[in-house]
Amino acid sequence: MGWPVAHSRSPVIHNHWIAQYGLRGTYALLPVQPDKLTDAIRGLPALGFAGCNITIPHKVNAMAMMDVVHPVAQRMGAINTIVVQADGSLHGVNNDGFGYIQSLRDAKPDWRADTGPALVLGAGGAARAVVLSLLDEGAPEVRLVNRTRSKADDLAALGDRVKVYDWRERNDAMAGVALLVNTTNQGMHGQPGLDVQLDALPASALVSDAIYIPLETPLLAAARARGHTTVNGLGMLLNQARPAFHAWFGVMPEITPALHQAIAATF
């Protein structure tokens, strides 16, 4: 459920797994206007849904309609998945942070959050999941930079290891970091590239982008040219889908080359 949802790659992922595991069912896109959200969510059990994903702009508002909100989602202040229980009650969970961390491990199996500071660009919904998961994984410091400083200041309430810098300090804040993450929409299809210079970034830093359309943003291309290991947002999307599928269908699905091919065919 989202508004709009037409761009979503989630049907490709879940319908691929439904076919692979021989399950009866389908994953459908549900465009739901914000003022119809309560009715749509309350209708899920009666319509026979195992659950659904929740995306922009409903991630925060949908929480109020849950019977149970799991602790991680509670701390994130947003849900990305609803699971309809056998008794018809609705559980809200958020797997975005899990998906993000797992995407780094898939790209770099020995990756550890405690290697050094992380710099997160952006302070929207994706940033909240990334910052919280990095703190939970033991990042010693999370530097946060957002065009609108007040939103970064709000996110800093997540923990005292979060340090907010002004947007104009974004390039200098790269000094000494082990991880650079873009969670802004800059570099996304139809948007200009992110306005940053990587000169101060240590050669060993991992560079990741939450964006997956395109798979290689200008930021990731510039980082790759400097020799950094890069991680695009597709891994986050695929990995957040795994626990959701498991909760709905009782099977923990695998991310296979065939799934990657199915996604690639949609670009």
CB of 167 to ligand NAP, least distance (A): 7
Least separation in angstroms between CB 128 and ligand NAP? 8
Tell me whether residue 84 or residue 102 sits nearer to ligand NAP (CB atom).
102
∠34-39-43 over CA atoms, to 5°? 130
158 token code pair: 């997540």
Nearer CB in complex with ligand NAP: 15/85? 15
Give backbone dihedrals phi and psi of 207, rounded to 5 degrees, phi first. Answer: -120, 125
Residue showing tokens 């104009």: 168
Nearer to ligand NAP, 61 or 85 (CB): 61
CB of 57 to ligand NAP, least distance (A): 9
d(CA 220, CA 232): 8
The DSSP string of the chain is -BSS-TT--HHHHHHHHHHHTT-S------B--GGGHHHHHHTTTTTT--EEE--TT-TTGGGGG-SEE-HHHHHHT--SEEEE-TTS-EEEE--HHHHHHHHHHHH-TT--GGGS-EEEE--SHHHHHHHHHHHHTT-S-EEEE-SSHHHHHHHGGG-TTEEEE-GGGTTGGGTT-SEEEE-SSTTSTTSPPP----TTS-TT-EEEES--SSSS-HHHHHHHHTT--EE-THHHHHHHHHHHHHHHHS------HHHHHHHHTT-
Between 85 and 154, CB nearer to ligand NAP: 154
Whichever of 45 and 218 has its CB closer to ligand NAP, that residue is 218
Give yes or no: 59 in active site. yes
Positions touching ligand NAP (CB under 6 A) are 56, 96, 99, 122-127, 146-148, 151, 183-186, 188, 210-212, 233, 236-237, 240
In the complex, least distance from residue 31 CB atom to ligand NAP, rounded to whole angstroms: 17
Pick between residue 23 and residue 30 the one whose CB is nearest to ligand NAP.
30
Q: Which residue has the closest beta carbon to ligand NAP? A: 124
Radius of gyration of the chain from its Cα atoms, rounded to whole angstroms: 18
* Nearest distance in Å: CB 10, ligand NAP: 9
Q: Which of 59, 108, 151, 163 does the annotation list as catalytic?
A: 59
Active site (catalytic) residues? 59
